[in-house]
Amino acid sequence: MAYINTVGVVGAGQMGSGIAQLAAAHGFDTWLVDTNPEALTRAEELITNNIHRLVSKGHLSQDGDGALTQLKYSSNVQELSSEIIIEAIVESEGVKKSLVLELDKIAKCSTILASNTSSISITRLASATSRPIKVIGMHFMNPPPIMKLVEIVRGANTSDDTFYTTKALAERFGKTVICSKDFAGFVVNRILMPMLNEAFYALYTGVASKEDIDTGMKLGTNHPMGPLELADFIGLDICLSILNVLHSGLGDNKYAPCPLLVQYVDAGRHGRKRGVGVYDYRKSSQKGKT
């Protein structure tokens, strides 16, 4: 089993920036790469503020400046020379395959290629590379620095060594690990997404208002967030991509995305990250009217 000291993260959106922050805060030399320079600037601002806040609350064992200097940003994937590369780019099999193909060419043959995919087959991503034994799913929850779980997904050819090295890394990040077989949506999203989709159906068919659906599930089932609020937090585009993977991968109509969810995504209402989803976040920091 290898002992990882250097971490590369590709994709500086909500998940990639959180994973990079987590790695740097735990003392790893970390690179964060995104092809979009604006995403990198946003991520740097967010991570810097988060690290300063953690320091002021006494929640960071090492000093904040140390963590910040351990983290480097780049728009060029070729700069990555880490022992593990965790991809957290858009939830599209085609786009992820092109990236792992590129990473396979530039990374040392000992480098583990991990995917933070929410639902896409690790076995198929691995098949795009010359190192399927070194490819694994490392599925963080949102937001990665806070949520306690990492779901590890072994592809058909993932080696024991890759599995135990990745598991040990997640545990050094302070996470609890569950292991899933490589079926669409793995464990968490296979169970979560049908619930979020059903909440859209309840809204679509006029069963209740969005506020009442969310309040009902928060107070009625003791969930910290209502399902529509959670879908906005995850990103409606991501939810739709996951449901499409569940629908085609498991071949059951119960996973077919609700037309209202599809329409919101078509309209660019991708949730909190875009300022509007089921709720409108642009007018105040509170959920607004849509």
Catalytic residues: 118, 139, 151, 189
Q: Kindly identify the residues of this chain, within the stretch 131-160, that bind ligand NAI according to CB under 6 A.
A: 139-140, 142
Q: Which is nearer to ligand NAI, 85 or 112 (CB)?
A: 85
Among 50, 82, 116, 166, binds ligand NAI (CB under 6 A): 116
Helix axes 259-266, 236-250, angle to 10 degrees: 130
Q: Which of helix, strand or coil describes residue 53?
A: helix
Size of the site for ligand NAI (CB under 6 A): 28
Q: Smallest distance from the beta carbon of 15 to ligand NAI, in angstroms?
A: 3
Q: 142 and 234 in contact (C-beta within 8 Å)?
A: yes
Task: List strands edge to edge, sheet with 6-10.
Answer: 71-74, 29-33, 6-10, 84-87, 112-115, 135-140, 149-154, 176-180
Q: Is 16 annotated as a binding residue?
A: yes
Burial class (CB in 10 A: 0-12, 13-18, 19+), 28: buried
Amino acid at 229: E
Q: Which is nearer to ligand NAI, 219 or 225 (CB)?
A: 225
Query: What would the x/- binding string for ligand NAI be over residues 30 to 69, using CB under 6 A?
Result: ---xxxx--x------------------------------
Cα–Cα distance list, 245 to 3, 29, 127, 277 (Å): 33, 34, 18, 21
Among 24, 192, 228, 238, binds ligand NAI (CB under 6 A): 238
Number of Cβ within a 10 Å radius of residue 45: 11
Query: Which parts of this chain interact with ligand NAI (CB under 6 A)?
Result: 10-16, 33-36, 39, 88-91, 95, 99, 116-118, 139-140, 142, 234-235, 238, 273
Q: Which residues are annotated as a binding site for NAD(+)?
A: 11-16, 34, 91, 96, 118, 142, 273
